[in-house]
Structure 1
Amino acid sequence: MEAVKTRVPVSQSIRYPEILEIARREGKVTVEGLAEHFGVTLQTIRRDLSDLADLGRLERVHGGAVLPSGTTNIGYEDRRSINAEGKAAIARACTSEIPNDCSIFLNIGTSTEAVAEKLLAHRNILAVTNNLNVAVTLARNPECEVVVTAGALRRADGGLTGDLTERTIRQFKFDIAVIGCSAIDEEGDILDFDMHEVGVTRTIIEQSRRVFLVADHTKFRRKAPVRVASVSDLAALYTDTDPDQQIVRRCHDENVRLVVVE
């Protein structure tokens, strides 16, 4: 009689290092691939990936996860799938404090795209953007005049950057700028990956009366190499989880409104 082979469940303590090793080797792991590899359910792997993401070891993307990078951003479509619900909640809180009859700037990023979606009911808005995705969204609002900056098109995310972009921005003085970022470190520095985008964001800050930063909790766990600005340059920071106490104190000391949504 042939012996029945029984798969012994792999404990989490063993599974986590192997998941990270596969991610390092292949660049990305998928829920289905890991479930088949370990012989466990999809739900089990989703929990594993969420735990590793909470520990800052991985970043969740649609269908799986990738290793966090301190020098290279992950793909734009993958970034769209990261914490979409949190970004939507942040966008609702942010747009609730943007009045009708004002001028605004929205820069490149999936969080600012979420803000654009929540601005569709606003009236008499002049919106300037270097984000083609934001422009297409805001064009659905007949009460919003949309201005797209000049600049070199970055095909990966529909962003416009460079000297032409900065020169366009300097023609305006905005009531409010809504910006995103790639990371925020424990010292309160706002960071990004693209040096060309950094100059544009600094110009946006210079030309705005108030600056709102929309950044979900994943941005506090990431690293990026280029400093854009500081939380002291902000009027408000919108996020979805309480940041470290060092950031909270910095916001308090610099009179920056910290809004944490559920």
Structure 2
Amino acid sequence: MELNHRQNQILATIRTEGEVQIDHLAEKFAVTTQTIRRDVNYLCEQGLARRVHGGVSLPASLTNTSYRYRSDVESTVKDQLAATLAACIPDGSTIMIGIGTTLARLAQHLLSKNTLRVITNNLQVAQILEANENIEIYIAGGQFRREHQDIMGSSAVSFFDGFEADIGICGCAAVTDRHFVMEHESIEADISKAIIRNSRKQWLVADARKWEQFAVVKVSPMKQFDKIFTNNQRLPKEFPLHLTAKAD
């Protein structure tokens, strides 16, 4: 289920400020404390926040939320971004696809391609593309993360280092105000870095919510990417943007 705008802003606030009191949030968003409590209750039910005395904070774990939950968030926007991205990939390309739910949606739109070679550590991508026998699939070995449906670890990084792709496609956990692409964990950032260095062209897909999120591990500056697929209409025009759908 998608979060509304205020719920996203509450998450952004607690990621920036840490523990936040209900009264402070009510004043900040000009609504009643009862309204904020309903929002907080929903965020806690989804595992995105936890209640503390008189307020709310981040969950004890700072790792990424589950694949199933993330796949439902901003699902329409993610599908639009995936369709736009897929249309830019020529038949016969060799592509690297990283982690994330938007990239799993990309796989659905790649099924109509005549030929492709796909190198990935994203299990959902591999399972979807298996339906097209004209698509070659190479999948990493390593640590299986059940909750994220991907393969991680040093062996997965080495796997990507064994190829050179026409296009490397990355998602991300967040983008900073200084336009730096971020991930929650070092093992996730290492995968994206491997894709970037082993591809002749680097593409990023990031819905507008990524500019409201917080993550601690740097991947690369946005300027390193040759194409950026987003619905964030507020980015500087010097970036190679492929815009789709308007942000809320």
The normalised TM-score by structure 2 is 0.77
**Structure 1 gap segments, 5+ residues each:** 1-11, 31-57, 60-65
Question: Is structure 2 residue 31 aligned with structure 1 residue 13?
Answer: yes
Task: Using the TM superposition, give the Cα deviation of residue 195 of structure 1 relative to its aligned residue in structure 2, in angstroms.
Answer: 1.2
Q: Aligned letter for 2:244?
A: V
1:64-111 C-alpha deviation (Å, 9 max, x unpaired): xx9877933222211010011100100111111100011001111001
Q: 1:151 to 1:185 in 2, by over 3 A?
A: same
Within the candidate set 155, 161, 164, 1:170 is matched to 161
Q: Which residue of 1 aligns with 2:221?
A: 230
Q: 1:94 to 1:68 in 2, by over 3 A?
A: farther
State the superposition RMSD in angstroms.
2.4
Equivalences, count = 208
Q: Which residue of 2 aligns with 1:44?
A: none
Within the candidate set 1, 9, 22, 2:41 is matched to 22
Q: Which residue of 1 aligns with 2:204?
A: 213
| Alignment partners' CA distance in 1, 2:58 and 2:129 | 31
Taking the TM superposition and a 5 Å limit, the aligned residue runs for 1:2-81 are: 13-14=31-32, 15-22=34-41, 27-28=44-45, 71-81=62-72
1:173-224 C-alpha deviation (Å, 9 max, x unpaired): 1000111111011101111112112111101100011111111111111011
| Identity score, percent | 25
Q: Which residue of 1 aligns with 2:182?
A: 191
| Alignment partners' CA distance in 1, 2:103 and 2:58 | 21
1:8-49 C-alpha deviation (Å, 9 max, x unpaired): xxxx8213332245357xx2269xxxxxxxxxxxxxxxxxxx
Q: 1:29 to 1:171 in 2, by over 3 A?
A: closer
| Alignment partners' CA distance in 1, 2:146 and 2:46 | 25
Question: Is structure 2 residue 144 aligned with structure 1 residue 153?
Answer: yes
Runs of 4+ in 1 over 4 A off after TM superposition: 66-70
Specify the structure having the higher radius of gyration (Cα). Answer: 1
Q: Aligned letter for 1:261?
A: T
Q: Alignment partner of 1:71: what SS?
A: coil
Q: Aligned letter for 1:149?
A: A
Within the candidate set 82, 90, 109, 1:118 is matched to 109
**Structure 2 gap segments, 5+ residues each:** 1-29, 50-55
Q: Which residue of 2 aligns with 1:260?
A: 243
| Alignment partners' CA distance in 2, 1:141 and 1:221 | 36
Q: Which residue of 1 aligns with 2:122?
A: 131
Q: Aligned letter for 2:45?
A: K
The normalised TM-score by structure 1 is 0.73
Is the contact made by 1:248 and 1:258 (CA closer than 8 Å) also made in structure 2?
no
